[in-house]
Amino acid sequence: MPRLFVALRPPAPVRAELMNLMGGVENARWQDETQLHLTLRFIGEVPPLQAQEIAAELGRVAMQPFSLGLRGVGHFERKGAAHTLWAGVADSPALGVLHGRVERACRRTGHPVETRRFAPHVTLARLNRSAGSIAGWLAAHGDFASIPWPVDHMILYESQLTASGACYDPVVRYPLRG
C-alpha cells in the first residue's frame, strides 16, 4: 500500500541554507538534501484506490501562491528526551490556510481527521539515546532565518522506508492557483 504525505519542498538555495545548519551534534542522523520538506499532511498507508481519490481531491485545492520563510530552530521531545531537530517556519497565515484546505481534501475522501496540532517545520536530524547534547547547536542556530521563497506548488509524496532511512518519491505536483 502506498505511504503518502503532502509537502512543500523548499527551493535549492533554501535547502543549501538548511544543509549549512547540519553538524555539531554527536551521533545525530542528519537528513540528506533529498529529504528536506515541510509536511502539510501525513496521510500514511492507504489502499491504491483511496490514494487515487486523495490525489484527485488534492488537485481541487485552490490557493493563491504565497511567500514563505524559515525562522529559528528547535527540537521535539518524547518522554523528556529530544528525538528531532528542526528548522521552524516564519509566521504565515497563508500556510495555515493551505494546511486547512489540504486537511479538508483528505477528509472528503474519508481519510480520518488529523488529531495532532499542525506544527510546521523542516526536519533536520533524528536523535536517539546516543546523540550528544543539543544545547550548543540550538544556541548557535537560534537566530536562523532563511531567504523567503514563493510557494507556488505542493507535492504528494510516496514514502519508502528502508534500512538506511526514508526515501521520498514525488507522485503529483499541484500548482497553486486561485
Residue with cell 521552524: 88
Amino acid found at 91: D
Those residues with Cβ within 8 angstroms of residue 140's Cβ, 6 or more apart along the chain or in another chain:
24
Question: How many angstroms separate the CA atoms of 94 and 151, rounded?
Answer: 10
Catalytic site includes residue 121: yes
Catalytic site includes residue 75: no
DSSP at 145: B
> Is beta strand 3-8 parallel, antiparallel or unpaired with respect to 149-151?
unpaired
Q: Which residues pair with 128 in a beta bridge?
A: none
Q: Please tell me which residue in 75, 99, 111, 121 is annotated as part of the active site.
A: 121
Q: Please tell me which residue in 37, 75, 99, 141 is annotated as part of the active site.
A: 37
Instruction: Let me know: does 69 contact 11? Beta carbons within 8 Å.
Output: no
Q: Any idea which residues carry the catalytic annotation? A: 37, 121
